[in-house]
Chains A and B, each alone.
Chain A
């Protein structure tokens, strides 16, 4: 990779960029992006986000690891996003390989290429980016140590559908294992190890899963028979967790994009894990144990970011920010300076059941946008099944407070196709929305002269690994369509809007989420036939996917809509995310008995995640 080539990429880009939509996405140069001298670095890392710039630049995990790697001596981490199709076509026409935004160097010359797997429907984008980089998509076809292709993120909890493409996965939180991996690589390179020799060594690092070191055998019916480790690789790979969130690395600055990303603001991470145990929610289990940052640390993080970015909004992010035990303390600390700096706070993940008046008052000091709640299901029975411990009274009470505080628009999130769901549960969704509408008009002190809008947003339920519903069959596309139709027929008020997620998208997500290695060939075929960025409606090609399943002789419903018995070996059973399979089985049984499970603060249910803490205890 000579200087000549670099200049070539820049010159070629100048010829094509003005033909693309929002070219600023492809040139770097943003505030706080890190540019180093090539001669001063010996380890080049391409942090690849397999989605568009706007999505990737909204992602907190990438910001953390980008800054952390760049704080390491001699390491240069750069960002790479999936180009939109106009840019991709021009890159392919002009022979421009995928490059890092900071240096404009082709990433195929880097030491390590890391993908974050946030969403099953970004798998084809991973293959497409490897191909755009000029690399073979299959791990076995990349013979040399460099570039090593690694991946992490929530979808790494069942990495089997992409096991043939990725050299190694990092399970769990990356702040400690990624720098360790970099050092291991440097040592291996100095010793002249082969790729396989390095992978053998890496497999001994906690949290590292090298799929090529595991043989998977299948039963005649297609289910997994056994997963056998080779060459001393651990039989079970345990995910990594950070013990003390007040000591973990957190960036002092974020890159401030020119082009507006989805979330254009500072973010502080209030807590990790979740005490709730909603049975459909993968994040609620795979990020356990529950750990909080102290208000002092968070206040410091928020001040640093405000100072270095100039953002006028700070998001308090977590799976459930109102479960933060010191929320009022934190808000008091923040509000004492954010007002003066004209900075707004946003709390995206509040729960209906503990949205106190004091909290609403504090939140009301910031900009008023719409109010969103996620009851997830329409009847109490259904909410008990999914363990979403929210009652109708709580929804009504919170909406009352909100309407009296001036809100006139409420958005309610629900899921369709939940286990044991009946028509009554679907009708319950509309009934709940109608009750919110009626509530608004019954209030004497509602905002004057303004109507109310209640939006119902319904997503198809996707059973995920590492949840109590990992055994459940998913509703088929046809069933989802029927349910949508029925739901719509129940709506009689024009104050209620209904939004759907595409049923086909949910169906494919369901297949990939609980897939095994047999899906690698399907993903490769679909990608070769033009599938890419499947999470986007304008890119999603369901028919092409279905053809790929057919060509590969694989029935997608085997993965999505088949009920699994409790003793079936699941493709991800050799990965340990803390919560035990025994607990998921117990929870599944309780779901079918319409029984709730108390949250972790009320009573420990023995999920097993406490084993991940050094002292074996949870700190709630």
Chain B
């Protein structure tokens, strides 16, 4: 088939998810973008199988419940479209709680992802903010933080200690607000849910639903904080 020779260009789309969009599972996000692309009439590349569909891929999908300022989706265009137009046409086609901030040629591969910053708000129905803060700092100060991580092959125990960096922490009347830098990428991907499930288990504290916002994704550049682009 001659279609197989269609040349394409990889484009990376950066978008945010807020409001009701945070309750959407990754599978549903993926279908939502497929349809938005169909409505946008951008010249996208389709897979060449028996049931052609729009090719898209997500670098580091957000877990259900998280908001994010820094999601990325890669797609393929078969003819040139200005990046601003890609952004605008997608925004016109997307539900309001997903907003594309920009589109660009990809700079990094997903292998380059090393860590991500999250803003986390957490509270407990049993414990006040000060006590919660002391306990949490206590956990971070341990020489090891054993956590049960579920993988496709089953459950395994990992040490969270080298994978967490606390960037800031403030407590107010209702709970804690913090920024955590957590390992990400193919090797040691962890997220705030794992951190706080572990915290809840180790200290036997009941926690309310976390409020999480992914702030930025970084590469493994040893010289400086370099955002994944």
Chain B CB within 10 Å — which of A15, A31, A307, A341 has the most? Answer: A31
A246–chain B nearest beta-carbon distance, Å: 26
Task: Judge whether A258 and B28 touch: CB under 8 Å.
Answer: yes
Contact A256 B35 (CB under 8 A): yes
Task: Output the least CB separation between A576 and chain B (Å).
Answer: 43
Enumerate chain A residues within 8 angstroms of B95, measured Cβ to Cβ.
29-31, 256, 258
Name B93's closest neighbour in chain A (CB-CB).
A310
Cβ of A308 and Cβ of B39 under 8 Å apart?
A: yes
Interface: A549 (CB within 8 A): no
- Tell me the chain A residues, 13-35 only, with Cβ under 8 Å from chain B: 14-19, 22-24, 26-31
Cβ contact within 8 Å between B21 and A310 = no
Q: A18-B65, A259-B28 are in contact. Are A29 and B38 (CB under 8 A)?
A: no
Contact, CB under 8 Å: A29 / B20: yes
State how many residues of chain A have any CB contact under 8 Å with chain B: 28
Complex CA–CA separation, A19 to B21 (angstroms) = 16
B 134-168 binary contact with A (CB < 8 Å = 1; else 0): 00000000000000000000000000000000000
Q: Contact at B38–A310, with CB atoms within 8 Å?
A: yes
Task: Choose from A19, A259, A311, A367 the contact partner of B51 (Cβ within 8 Å).
Answer: A367
- Counting chain B residues whose Cβ lies within 8 A of the other chain, the interface size class is 20 to 34
The answer to whether A16 and B37 touch across the interface, beta carbons within 8 angstroms, is no
B83 at the interface (CB under 8 A from A): no
Q: Which residues 13-70 in B have Cβ within 8 Å of A in the complex?
A: 19-21, 23-25, 28-29, 31-32, 34-39, 46, 51-53, 64-65
Cβ B24 vs Cβ A24 within 8 A: yes
Contact A309 B35 (CB under 8 A): yes
Knowing A16-B209, A18-B64, A23-B64 touch, does A309 contact B39 (C-beta < 8 A)? yes
A327 to B210, CA, bound (A): 54
Separation of A19 and B209 alpha carbons in the complex (Å): 8
- Judge if A392 is at the interface, Cβ distance under 8 Å: no
| B208: interface (CB < 8 Å) | yes
Instruction: Please state if B25 and A24 are interface contacts (CB–CB under 8 Å).
Output: yes
Complex Cα–Cα for A200 and B25 (A) = 49
Task: Kindly state whether residue A260 has any CB partner on chain B within 8 Å.
Answer: yes
Q: Which of B23, B32, B51, B93 has the most CB of A within 10 A?
A: B23
Encode A320-364 as 1/0 by CB contact (under 8 A) with B: 000000000000000000000110000000000000000000000
Whether B106 is near chain A, meaning CB under 8 Å from some CB there, is no
Q: CA A310 – CA B35 in complex, angstroms?
A: 5
Residues of chain A lying within 8 A (CB to CB) of residue B20: 24, 27-29
Chain B residue with the shortest CB-CB distance to A264: B31
Query: How far is B93's CA from A28's CA once the two chains are assembled, in angstroms?
Result: 17
**Is A312 part of the binding interface, using a Cβ–Cβ cutoff of 8 Å?**
yes
Closest to A32 in B: B95
In the bound complex, residues from chain A placing their C-beta under 8 Å from that of B19 are 29
| Residues of chain A with a CB closer than 8 A to B111's CB | none
Interface centre among B51, B95, B97, B210 (most CB of A within 10 A): B95
On chain A, the residues within 8 Å of B39 by CB distance are 307-310
Whether B23 pairs with A31 at a CB distance below 8 angstroms is: no
Known A-B contacts A24-B20, A29-B96, A259-B28; the reply to A310 vs B65 at CB < 8 A is no
Q: Which single member of B25, B36, B38 contacts A312 (CB below 8 Å)?
A: B38
Q: Give B19's nearest chain A residue, CB to CB.
A: A29
What is the CA–CA distance of A367 and B65 in the complex, to the nearest angstrom? 35
**Which residues of B have CB within 8 Å of A19?**
209
Q: How far is the CA of A17 from the CA of B209 in the complex (A)?
A: 9
What is the bound-complex CA distance between A15 and B51, given in angstroms? 41
Residue of B nearest to A343 (CB): B38
Taking the closest CB of chain B, its distance from the CB of A251, in whole angstroms, is 16
Which chain B residue shows the least CB distance to A104? B20
Instruction: Give the distance in Å from the alpha carbon of A259 to the alpha carbon of B29 in the complex.
Output: 9
B32 close to A258 (CB less than 8 A): yes
Which of B28, B34, B94: most chain A CB closer than 10 A? B28
Q: Is the CB of A14 within 8 A of B97?
A: no
Instruction: Looking at the assembled complex, report how far the CB atom of B102 sits from the nearest CB atom of chain A, in whole angstroms.
Output: 21
- A22–B46 touching, CB < 8 Å: no
Interfacial chain A residues near B210, Cβ < 8 Å: 18
B87: Cβ under 8 A from any A Cβ: no
Interface check B211, CB cutoff 8 A: yes
State in angstroms the CA–CA spacing of A28 and B96 once bound together. Answer: 11
Interfacial residues of chain A within 247-274, with CB under 8 A of chain B in the complex: 256, 258-260
Q: Which residues of A contact B (CB under 8 A)?
A: 14-19, 22-24, 26-31, 256, 258-260, 307-312, 341-342, 367
Interface pairs (14), CB distance under 8 Å? A16-B209, A18-B23, A24-B25, A27-B23, A29-B95, A31-B32, A31-B95, A258-B28, A258-B32, A309-B35, A310-B38, A310-B39, A311-B35, A312-B53
Q: Which 8 residue pairs of A and B lie closest in terms of their CB atoms, listed nearest first?
A: A29-B20, A310-B35, A310-B38, A27-B20, A310-B39, A23-B23, A31-B95, A18-B209
Give B residues with C-beta under 8 Å from A.
Answer: 19-21, 23-25, 28-29, 31-32, 34-39, 46, 51-53, 64-65, 93-97, 208-211
Given contacts A18-B210, A24-B24, A29-B19, 13 further A-B contacts (CB under 8 A): A15-B208, A17-B209, A18-B23, A26-B23, A28-B20, A29-B95, A258-B24, A260-B31, A307-B39, A310-B38, A311-B35, A311-B38, A342-B38
